[in-house]
Amino acid sequence: MSENIKKKSRRLPAEWEKQSFVQLTFPHQNSDWKDDLELVTPVFIEIITQITRFENVLLVCQNKIETEKLFHNLDKKQFDRIVFVQINSNDTWARDYGAMTILEKNSDGNEKKIHLDFTFNGWGNKFEATKDNLITQNLKNENYLKSKVNEIDFVLEGGSIESDGKGTILTTSECLLSKERNPNFSREEIETKIKKYFGANRILWLENGGLEGDDTDAHVDTLARLCPNDTICYVAPPMDKSDSHYSSLKKMEDELKNFKTVDNNSYKLIPLPFAPAAYHEEDNRRLPSTYANFLIINEAVLVPTYENKELDNLALSQIKKAFPTREIIGINCLPIIRQHGSLHCLTMQFPK
């Protein structure tokens, strides 16, 4: 009699599923924030303060004792939810070097966590990243990650993919097909690998979209986000058709309208306002402000805002449509985009 052995199945949970903690890296004098520390430190504190209202935080920092002092005003319950870990880092973009956690189902039907530690090469060798690339292994070595960690010789950043938890991955071709990441693989080979790593059965490729000032080659988490109930929140094209973003974002919007769910229905699309233009005062380079870079946590959504009351409020109300039962919390991220990223880029959630 032949024994019927079920194959192990794996999936990448959706961000809106129950979480155990969120990982961040605190800015320090040896990071690119060195000239802006006074400006950005309060933003990091606010993000962490809001997260600890709902769940735990794993905070990588350069100096544990000094970083702890910054949070002594928190109530004890929230302070106790922060685990401070002293590990060297280049920078603070935990989304892109943090472990991506899959759930693998055993033959008994139970799911276990596996942390996938992909190679991080500074968004295609643009920036020094050797310390950041070691953070997941250091967390494992110091027993802060209890589950199995698989080190993977493939360049992939967390901000470059979105998952609905049911086998669909949303991404952009500009990022995943960048020759500075995985030059030896074709589009078909990369798609095969992504499906294998995450147990996905289909990939939705965006061929258009992108923000000026973005160093990531069009990370999808700056453009379009998968949300519950076959919904996608996305950056709408600017009202001003002469804006340099208009054509690309309009084409992306058309692509999204043509995407189909697994059940062959159209997605429910929620347009987010095109964020107010911001420029770095030193080189007048446009900064990639985007409302799509929100973080979903237990019972809440943290949304970046940019000191434009009308657009900020519109973005918050639009995101509330996708998450009607969660608290929607705006956090001023104008200081954060000075380094060309925003709120979601700073964080990596870990599922229950």
Give tens-digit pLDDT for 238-295. 999 999 999 999 999 999 999 999 999 999 999 999 998 888 877 788 899 999 999 9
pTM for the predicted model, two decimal places: 0.95
pLDDT of residue 41: 97
- Boundaries of every domain in the chain: 9-351
Q: Cα separation of 93 and 91, whole Å?
A: 6
**pLDDT score, position 96:** 97
Query: pLDDT (tens digit, 9 = 90+) per residue, 208-245?
Result: 999 999 999 999 999 999 999 999 999 999 999 999 99
Cβ 351 vs Cβ 103: under 8 Å: yes
Report whether pLDDT(4) > 80.
no
The mean pLDDT of 174-187, rounded to a whole number, is 96
- In this structure, which topology does domain 9-351 adopt according to CATH? L-arginine/glycine Amidinotransferase; Chain A (3.75.10)
Task: Please answer whether residues 257 and 264 qualify as being in contact, where contact means their C-beta atoms are separated by less than 8 angstroms.
Answer: no
Sign of CA dihedral 303, 99, 158, 63: positive
For residue 272, the cross-strand partners are 235
Mean pLDDT of the chain: 95
pLDDT at 109: 81
